Chain A
Amino acid sequence: GIQVEQSPPDLILQEGANSTLRCNFSDSVNNLQWFHQNPWGQLINLFYIPSGTKQNGRLSATTVATERYSLLYISSSQTTDSGVYFCAVERDGGFKTIFGAGTRLFVKA
Chain B
Amino acid sequence: DVVMTQTPLSLSVTPGQPASISCKSSQSLLHHEGKTHLYWYVQRPGQSPQLLIYEVSSRFSGVPERFSGSGSGTEFSLQISRVEAEDVGVYYCMQGIHLPLTFGPGTRVDIK
| A and B form one complex | no
